[in-house]
Amino acid sequence: MSDTETLPRSTVANSLASPQPRRKLNPTIKIVLGQIAVVGLWLGSWEWMSGRLIDPFFSSSPSAIGQQLVEWFRTGSIWPHLLITLQEFSVGLLVGSVVGVLVGFTLGRLPTTAAVLNPFVTVVYSMPKLALAPLFVLWFGIGFGSKIVLVALISFFLVFYNTFTGARDVDPLYINSLRIMGANRLTIYRRVVIPSAAVWVMTGLRIAVPQAVIGAVVGELISSNQGVGYIIANAGAFFNTTGVLAGVALVACVSVLLSQLIIVLERWATRWKQG
């Protein structure tokens, strides 16, 4: 910046005229650098304080957590647990979102039925589904079943609610336009309702993914003998702070990765919005 000021007038004008002046830092790089700085500051101060200001028994430290994670993957002891959690997540999410999409589209196009059910849906939607986890264990056992039900229920509501809104709010102008062209109900569904609501379905999925991961892990925390949640619960029972935090960090990483996948999918499905 400062050397730009000393350049002759014409050069300054040229650099202003070009869409992206070369000497300026790309905003994306700036943001990423800022983010790296935040993480560095956070982990650095944590590492420094641990053992100096705070007893590592309570706070552990980034290096200890990192070592634990490396250890898990080096010995491979984490894999069976991680796979179990991922299975619970994916089966639950699949069941929940498929049912959510189907019910959402159906109710979205049946305004009267939707109006009748609306208050009940709101009540069930507002219920903390995680609080039901102990009941699911009672009903479906401590294994796979109870976690899948929990994950499916959580994802169902998020996907259903968004699909429902999307199917209900299709611009009637588009529907009318197709009716004049001679389209029947099925064609209108295929060409207008579904593509129009697809944006909402994707939003529902994007919100549902991290919640579904949490659902699977919490289900395991409450009672299980396998899964990342079980690892966390087990470490917690022995006051192993490092184990708990390593487990939580692993869950967070998995969740972020899965969310990124969905975002890519969402971009593809709504590519028409970018022009």
- Per CB under 8 A, does 195 bind other proteins? yes
The binder of other proteins chosen from 11, 187, 225, 260 (CB under 8 A): 187
Neighbour count for residue 138 (Cβ, 10 Å): 11
Determine, following the binding rule CB under 8 A, whether residue 260 of this chain makes contact with other proteins: no
CB of residue 265 to other proteins, shortest distance in Å: 15
CA distance 190 to 188: 5
Please select the residue that binds other proteins; options are 14, 45, 122, 176, rule is CB under 8 A.
176
Helix extents (H) in the chain: 2-6, 9-17, 27-49, 56-59, 62-75, 79-108, 111-126, 133-140, 144-168, 172-180, 185-188, 194-222, 228-237, 241-269
Q: Does 266 bind other proteins (CB under 8 A)?
A: no
**How far apart are the C-alpha atoms of 54 and 205, rounded to whole Å?**
40
User: At closest approach, how far in Å is the CB of 191 from other proteins?
Assistant: 7
Q: Which of 47, 174, 234, 249 binds other proteins (CB under 8 A)?
A: 174
186 near other proteins (CB under 8 A): no
CA–CA separation, 271 and 275 (whole Å)? 7
By the rule CB under 8 A, 272 interacts with other proteins: yes
Binding site for other proteins (CB under 8 A): 173-174, 176-183, 187, 191-192, 195-196, 198, 271-275
